Structure formats: C-alpha cells, structure tokens
Structure 1
C-alpha cells in the first residue's frame, strides 16, 4: 500500500520478460511510473531498454509478465489500442515521415484523437513550445536538422494528447548544444505535469530532470530509487554506464 500522499502508478510492469529465441533481452523487470513524474530508464547499449519499451508498447511480444496502465491489464493490447488509451512513444531514431511536411507529420500524430478542438489546441500548444516547427511548418521533414527532427518526433507524439509519454533516446546523435535544448524541452514538459518515461544513455542530463531512476544492465534492473541518489553514486555510474565519474 502506498502512503496516502503518494500518487498511484500510471504505468506498472510486473516481472516482464522479453526473449528473442535464445536471447534474453529483458529478464523479469518490474517498475512503475507515477502520474506527473519523470522516470529515467538508464543503461548502456544492449542493456535491454528499447526492448522493454517496445514490449510496453506492444511492438514486440512479452514472453511473460504483466503490463498495467491506469490499473488495467494491457499486456496483450495492440500498439494502436495503447495509443488510444493514452500511451505515447517518441521512438529511437525519430522515424519521422521525411517526404511529408512538418504539418502533415503533426496531423498524423493527432490521427487517433477524435476531437478536432483538442487537435487544434495541441497543435497550437506544441508549435508555441517548439517555435522552430512553426517556422518550418510547410517544409518537408527530411530537410530539417537532426535537432529539429527530434523536436518534430516529440511533438508528433504529443499531438494525440497522451497521458504518458515514453521518450526513447531523445538526445541520440545530437550535438551537445542541441542536447541541452532537448532536455530544456523535457523540463518544460515536466513543469506542465506530463508523465514521462525517459529512456537514455545520457545519464547525467537525464538524472538532472528525472524524479526517480532505474538503471538497467544485461536485461536486468541494477538500481531503482531517487534520481539524485543515483547521480551521486560514482560507483554505480562508472560500473554500469562506463562513466569516469558522475558529474
């Protein structure tokens, strides 16, 4: 039982396993994300992070275990059903539609939202939050810079009005100055009380914005707790993340 002042979990995983033949990508992982918080899921390449959120989304099958969203068992729900329920994802590698304009990408992101007024309100909100997209509104997405494409991928995900957003490696492949901007935007989303599961290799930036954190290595969780405590643990950070020190 949670304390009375602690919010209930929006997303809960119970002993989730993901296997690809003989490869055990995710081994009995249990975690939760509570309403209004940012939770960082950290780990080096090959830790199993993307396999885990792909399983949450229903993109890859779960070998065993349970995924619950708002108290409902959604383990077997399709990705489309989960989007309609309010689970959003901005995938690794952005995966925008390069031959479509920014406007068309955003409209596709909102396609599961039946309320036109909500679609229009969301578009206005996120164009204000991501002003470069407003400038590039009628431009082909494939002509945008990497940082601009990442902003488009995040805003496209937000267009449907999700209750929780999973951001998979949003800083991957970006220049340091653009990484800083992306994390500023994540901080803005946090201030707006959006619930976020942030999957990252950039541990220091992620921990600076997160409330809680999980550290994953070789398909297993090696740490769970307050983000500040993990950030201060040089032993854990150096051993599992390959960092010389936690900054």
Structure 2
C-alpha cells in the first residue's frame, strides 16, 4: 500500500533522513522505531507532504505521490496522528472530530464514522461538548487518533502515540491500536516505546541517525538484544 524508495530529507546542510526504503502492505502494522532525533518524524512528515522530499520516491497504492500536497494525500487515503497530539485546544471534541471529517463530502458517511469512533472511544462521547484543551493527555491522544480516522484513511501513521503518557494510559492506547489492527486498518506506527510497538507490529524498521539499521519481522528485532540495546537503549526479549 505504501512504498518508499531511497527517500532523503534535508534541512539545509542537515541530512535528517538518508536514502530510506520501506514498505507497508495492506492490513499490516509496521513499527518504525528509533531514538529521539533518529529522523522518524521527518520521514513520515515527508510521506504526508508536510516537509519536502530531497530525493527518492513515495508511492501510495501504486501511484507516485512524492510531491502531492497534504490535502491531496488525505483525499487519497493517507492519515496522520501527529506527535504531541496537536488537538485544537479552543475547540470542542465535537468540533475537532468534524474538522477531521472535512475531506469527506458524504454527510451520511461522516455520521457513520462519528458513531463508530465515539463507540470505540467512549470517553470522547462523555467529553463531546468539552473543550479539547481541558482533556487529559490520554484523552487528547484518543481525540487525535479518532480525528485522523474520521477521514476514512486507508493507512494511518501514528507518530509517538505513547509520548508523555502515564504507563497505565500507554497500555490503554496500545489496546486501542490493537483494536484498530483487528479491524483491518493498515498502520505505520512510529514509536520510541520499542517493546510495546514490537508486541503489536507484524514487521519493523529501525532508524538511527537518519539511516535504516534493521528491516524485518518485529519478533526478530525484539529478540535481538544487541540491536535493541545499542540503538534503543533497552533490552529485547528477556
């Protein structure tokens, strides 16, 4: 569904991403791991069209979308839940969700999506008329994910969904991601929380200093103490 071929991202003289190739098949959960500053957010920002690609090719469903606008990519079926949640604090939960569905012209489909995700994220139903800025971190993360899903994406890129959350909330967020996986949604999961991400992913890529250091089955990376310790600072399988 998503294929990156030798993609590089530069910020002036800084090479944030260097010739990275990866793929995400339909129905997969693929983990993109790496420490802070590895280039993960730069890479998916390039996929989304938020930052320009310096070189390389991005294909979605077989179509070259390297230089398509973010709005066009949303219409084609690419969604992103950004790092740091970035909900519209002064708007209500309802208004945030409505903005997420703005690319969907069919009112009936929007209503169906809203009902679906309010059922999946019941706390948002309880907070429906509440300003997003008054929600807890975990509640805001659920809002950010559901806002992304309102556009009916074919693939969702989740950027650091566990960042800054308490362990008990992290567990809940990953339970929700598992539920999305079970529904058949294709997910590119960007995380520093390697153990949680690898427990749910089918395959994994490890990015460090803008370069890929590993590509393969998620379990193989989890079992590699050398890779996990050297690049992530954590042990794999115990």
TM-score range, shorter chain: over 0.9
Residue 75 of structure 1 pairs with residue 36 of structure 2: no
Residue 46 of structure 1 pairs with residue 37 of structure 2: yes
Structure 2 matches for 1:1-247, cutoff 5 A?
A: 10-247=1-238
Q: Distance in 2 between matches of 1:116 and 1:153?
A: 21
Structure 1 contact 163–195 (Cα < 8 Å) conserved: yes
* 5+ long unaligned stretches in structure 2: none
Distance 1:245 1:161, change over 3 A: closer
How many angstroms does 1:117 deviate by?
Answer: 1.2
* 3-state SS, counterpart of residue 204 of structure 1: helix
How large is the RMSD of aligned CA atoms in angstroms?
0.7
* 3-state SS, counterpart of residue 126 of structure 1: helix
* 3-state SS, counterpart of residue 60 of structure 1: coil
Aligned to 1:6: none
Q: Distance in 2 between matches of 1:108 and 1:16?
A: 30
Q: Distance in 2 between matches of 1:129 and 1:234?
A: 36
Q: Distance in 2 between matches of 1:124 and 1:184?
A: 20
Once the two structures are superposed, residues 153-212 of structure 1 have per-residue CA deviations (whole angstroms, 9 ceiling, x without a partner) of: 000000010000000000000000000000000000000000000000000000000000
* 3-state SS, counterpart of residue 222 of structure 1: strand
Aligned to 1:5: none
Structure 1 contact 25–48 (Cα < 8 Å) conserved: yes
* 3-state SS, counterpart of residue 224 of structure 1: strand
Q: Distance in 2 between matches of 1:179 and 1:246?
A: 20
Once the two structures are superposed, residues 99-137 of structure 1 have per-residue CA deviations (whole angstroms, 9 ceiling, x without a partner) of: 000000000000001111111111111000000000000
* 3-state SS, counterpart of residue 152 of structure 2: coil
Structure 2 contact 223–236 (Cα < 8 Å) conserved: no
Structure 1 contact 166–198 (Cα < 8 Å) conserved: yes
Q: Distance in 1 between matches of 2:151 and 2:111?
A: 11
Structure 2 contact 195–236 (Cα < 8 Å) conserved: no
Q: Distance in 1 between matches of 2:122 and 2:111?
A: 16
